[in-house]
Amino acid sequence: GAGVSQSPSNKVTEKGKDVELRCDPISGHTALYWYRQSLGQGLEFLIYFQGNSAPDKSGLPSDRFSAERTGGSVSTLTIQRTQQEDSAVYLCASSLEPGNYGYTFGSGTRLTVV
């Protein structure tokens, strides 16, 4: 596609429920990243996928968070048993390769846990 697409754009969920956030990167981009942007804070790295390599999950805040990337393209970030502190904007980005390029970001999913 022309840009990085994320869905849904907004999600309100009850505490304790599971949610899935989707990211469709730019076609041909081999690197995909998830970041979290909490109110008044910068961007927090969550997870990184590159081709068929094992993902870098070092930024995932707890074992309630997981992500997968199918076929080297679409990625899904899953949060199990959501908590109120999970409320944030979840941003996905992709890049052509992990070289000297910046990222192209999606518009994000705003998650609100009530």
Report the interface residues with other proteins, using CB under 8 A. 4, 6, 31, 33, 35, 41-43, 45, 48, 50, 56, 91, 93, 98, 100, 102-108
Shortest distance, position 113 Cβ to other proteins, whole Å: 19
Say how many Å lie between the first and final Cα of the chain, rounded.
33
Shortest distance, position 31 Cβ to other proteins, whole Å: 7
Of residues 45 and 81, the one with the C-beta less far from other proteins:
45
Of residues 56 and 80, the one with the C-beta less far from other proteins:
56
Shortest distance, position 27 Cβ to other proteins, whole Å: 18
